[in-house]
């Protein structure tokens, strides 16, 4: 007798079967992850220095704006990464 989990997984696989990726696609996805992790880290380091300066100066408004900018840039880069990864998964390079 199958568990509820196994039954749910069977239904899920029928609705959207798992995509098999080639070694080349896996490599491209790993490269994209690495590239975007570096981009995100670069922006974090850059803006974190500015945030620290604003904090030391007691400029809460600037500090808040910089933190919001960092959050927005992270989201933008993450969305860009997911878009590019989806293209690789679909075989569009």
pLDDT tens-place string over residues 56-92: 999 999 999 999 999 999 999 999 999 999 999 888 7
pLDDT tens-place string over residues 5-22: 888 888 877 777 666 888
Name the nearest CA neighbour of 88 among 36, 30, 29, 35: 29
What is the per-residue pLDDT for 51? 92
| Domain boundaries along the sequence of the chain | 21-89
What is the per-residue pLDDT for 42? 96
DSSP letter at 92 equals: -
28 band by pLDDT with thresholds 50, 70 and 90: very high
What is the per-residue pLDDT for 9? 81
* Cα 32 from Cα 38, distance rounded (Å): 10
**Residue whose entry in the numeric block shows the structure tokens 């604003």:** 54
């Amino acid at each position: 007798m199958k568990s509820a989990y196994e039954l749910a997984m069977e239904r899920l696989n029928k609705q959207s079967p798992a995509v098999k990726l080639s070694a080349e696609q896996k490599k491209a996805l790993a490269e994209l992850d690495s590239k975007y992790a570096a981009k995100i880290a670069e922006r974090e380091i850059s803006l974190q220095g500015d945030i620290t300066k604003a904090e030391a100066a007691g400029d809460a408004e600037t500090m808040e704006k910089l933190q919001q900018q960092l959050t927005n840039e992270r989201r933008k880069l993450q969305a860009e990464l997911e878009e590019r990864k989806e293209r690789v998964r679909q075989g569009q390079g």
